[in-house]
Amino acid sequence: MASSTLPPHVAAPGAPRDFEPVYLSLPNDERQDRVERALAALSECRICPRRCGVDRRQGDTGICRIARYAAVESWGPHRGEERCLRGTGGSGTLFFSGCNLRCVFCQNFDISQAIRPYPEGGEQPETLAGIMLDLQRQGCHNINLVSPGHLVPQLVEALSLAIDSGLRLPVVYNTSGYDAPEALELMDGLVDIYMPDFKFWSPALAGRYTMAPEYPEVARTALKEMHRQVGPLTVGGDGLARRGVLIRHLVMPGQLDETRAILTWIARELGPESYVNLMDQYYPAGRVGAADPRRPGRFPEIARTLDPAEFQEALAAAREVGLTRIDGGG
């Protein structure tokens, strides 16, 4: 891991040109107040929609199984994100463990839902800030926080330290969409780019695949708040994202009705200029596994890859509802 000793100043070679991150407009005393309020919220945790109520500051854990400190599974320049994030230097990605949504088909299952021993129970805030600064030194274009919803207090704390030590990259909040209003309030003024998934429209399917039947309503509320904070995605002449909401939707086999409903809502509620990445890379992963006619498993209806014709139908649906900024197939 990166050194916990923070340098007095860090250049930002990969930062978008003529760009100033939103957090530089947040007064220092407001940032400190934000840190104190965020950490206090861990004492009876309501940070995510699970609202477990445990005292994470004392080492207790809820469904995320993460206590006081964040668990970083891996970090580094990532060149597999959307073009407007990866650029030439990559997106400075931190993959966190303990995702609170627990999708049965998660393609990062070993990262998002694995809980392994961590030194001293996870990363100290100085170390987490140091990682962000190291990614900046490497020329990454942004700081990309993957599965952050259960770690907002820890991230507010680490971001404040990193900002004081010269962080100047846009912050990307890369989330499942299962985010509590209290968490998004704490991130307001710290995040430049929200990148939420919108996975399910039906409470029944959300309950089946994530044990969170409330997910569709939570996601709709969260996306509206994200849009209120940063608006639609803006991209500079260099092709790099500056600010706004970038929505992802993974098209799943046999669930085009879900896709149509989600795309219709986005166009109507957030506007036809909303940037939407329709993704076609679904495959049986996590607890779903590959289809086996002898042992179809608990989720046989999604134990197959996506048919190309299904994805073409999803793209057509996006055009039909009036969306004008579709990034499809990635």
What are the DSSP E strand ranges found in 105-260? 143-146, 171-175, 193-196, 234-235, 241-250
Taking only the tens of pLDDT, the chain with its 330 residues reads 444 444 544 558 888 888 899 999 999 999 999 999 999 999 999 999 999 999 999 999 999 999 999 999 899 999 989 999 999 999 999 999 999 998 999 988 777 766 554 445 689 999 999 999 999 999 999 999 999 999 999 999 999 999 999 999 999 999 999 999 999 999 999 999 999 999 999 999 999 999 999 999 999 999 999 999 999 999 999 999 999 999 999 999 999 999 999 999 999 999 999 999 999 999 999 889 755 455 557 899 999 999 999 999 999 999 999 999 999 855
Contact 67, 54 (CB under 8 A): no
| pLDDT tens-digit readout, 9-40 | 455 888 888 889 999 999 999 999 999 999 99
Rounded to an integer, what distance in angstroms lies between the CA atom of residue 292 and that of residue 304?
10
- In the prediction, which pLDDT does 109 show? 79
Q: What are phi and psi of 76, to 5 degrees?
A: 155, 175
User: Domain 62-328, what fold?
Assistant: TIM Barrel (3.20.20)
Rounded to an integer, what distance in angstroms lies between the CA atom of residue 260 and that of residue 282?
17
- In the prediction, which pLDDT does 293 show? 53
- In the prediction, which pLDDT does 295 show? 55
Contact 215, 258 (CB under 8 A): no
| pLDDT tens-digit readout, 110-168 | 777 665 544 456 899 999 999 999 999 999 999 999 999 999 999 999 999 999 999 99
pTM listed for this prediction: 0.93
In Å, how far from its chain's centre is CA 165?
24
Radius of gyration of the chain (CA): 19
Give domain limits for the chain.
62-328
* Nearest residue to 252 via CA among 202, 183, 185, 186: 202
- In the prediction, which pLDDT does 118 show? 47
Place of tokens 């995702």: 99
Place of tokens 């076609």: 280
Question: What CA–CA distances, in Å, run from 100 to 60, 92, 148, 310, 327?
Answer: 15, 22, 9, 29, 27
